[in-house]
Structure 1
Amino acid sequence: MLTQLIKFTVKPEHQQNMTNVLLASIEGTRQEPGNINIDIFTDKADPNVFFAYERWQDAAAMECHRQQPYTQHLLSILGDVLAQPPQIHNLHDTQPAPVTVKPANPEDDIFSIFFIFPVNAEFRQPILAQFENHIEHTRQEAGCLLFDLYTTEEEANTLVVYEHWRKESDVWDIHFNQPYAKTTGALLAQAVEGDLKQYMHFVKALA
């Protein structure tokens, strides 16, 4: 299985065009037999920033996707619409492995985060070990719909957390007050330079 997270930063005047092209791409991609999952998000702080989260059965499925007309159209416009080159993260599963997102309730106001953060090399293994315990407990929280951790192929010391919550207060008021979350937070404070929130992207689903 192959997983990618792609960040697109679009020129403001092309934001609506990019939205339309991505919506068309989502519709087609979800019909492809090799696609496990695709979700497109916009950054709540900047509507010109898009994130594409994709999981594929294998490299052949991803290559087939690249040849589809809607993908070719997307690729053809990037040179004109992007304010900077796309940032592509090839992700690798950690343990416990990613799981299917829990179903949301009609009243849920989904709160989603991509936490993309660099760590000092000496802390990489301790953080991965701590997250094994952290993830197991977090997934049992009533407000947690999804919580996965990935390593990145391009940068050994960059990690990615992908998470969905039923509502924002489930994160700040409940999750971060759990003993395992406090332990993880203390370790991250040593391993990551600066305020952790600078690496958090609060996003909403495009479709």
Structure 2
Amino acid sequence: MMLFWNDVSEEMEPVMKEDMPLTIVAKVVVKEEYREELEPELVRLLDPSRKDAGCLLYDMHQSNEDANTFLFYETWQNKGLWESHMETEHLKRWRKVSEGKVSDFELLQMTKV
């Protein structure tokens, strides 16, 4: 089942303390025919996300093997602030413009060891 960013919080069980830093690794694969449209939309997420409360790191990478594959590497002060980020207007806008145009989405919540 493909998840979209608005489904993530309900799908995941917490395995960390709420006040610990949270690392997010999110892989987004856009459909080939929408890459030219969606790539700038993904880039558009960077500045406002980096300014969101609790954002310590928010980087986007593009695969060298498949130009349709993007990876976000994020670090948040804690899970609650990441969850707040997921409800921001820029993420809501992304979900709207990308609806039906993403072929795969994977998200990992991780804790540094």
* Range into which the TM-score falls when normalised by the shorter chain: 0.7 to 0.9
Normalised to the residue count of structure 2, the TM-score between the two structures is 0.74
- 1:142 pairs with 2:53: yes
3-state SS in 1 of match to 2:53: coil
1:158 is matched with which residue?
Answer: 69
User: CA–CA distance in 2 between the matches of 1:160 and 1:122?
Assistant: 19
Deviations 1:63-105 (A, max 9, x none): xxxxxxxxxxxxxxxxxxxxxxxxxxxxxxxxxxxxxxxxxxx
- Could you say what secondary structure the match of 1:125 adopts? helix
What does residue 52 of structure 1 align with? none
Higher relative contact order (CA 8 A, sep 6+): 2
Q: 1:200 aligns with which of 101, 107, 111?
A: 107
Deviations 1:129-174 (A, max 9, x none): 11232111111112111111111001121110110111111122x2
2:65 alignment partner, SS class: coil
In structure 2, how many angstroms separate the alpha carbons of the residues matched to 1:155 and 1:131? 16
1:187: Cα distance to partner?
2.7
Paired residue for 2:92? 182
Superposed CA deviations along residues 170-205 of structure 1, whole A, max 9, x for unmatched, are 122x212211111112233322236x4xx0011222
Q: Which runs of 5+ in 1 are unaligned?
A: 1-44, 46-106
Q: Distance in 1 between matches of 2:19 and 2:36?
A: 35
Aligned 8 A contact 2:23 2:110 in 1? yes
Give the SS at the match of 1:177: coil
Unaligned runs of 5+ in 2: 1-12
Task: Give the equivalent residue in structure 2 for 1:117.
Answer: 28
TM-score by length of structure 1 reads 0.43
- For the residue of structure 2 that corresponds to 1:139, the secondary structure is helix
Aligned residue for 1:138, secondary structure, equals: helix
Q: Look up the SS of the partner of 2:34 in the other structure.
A: helix
What count of residue pairs does the alignment treat as equivalent? 97
Q: Distance in 1 between matches of 2:78 and 2:98?
A: 24
Q: Which AA in structure 1 matches 2:108?
A: H
Structure number with bigger Rg: 1
Which residue identity lines up with residue 144 of structure 1 in the other structure? C
SS at match of 2:96: helix
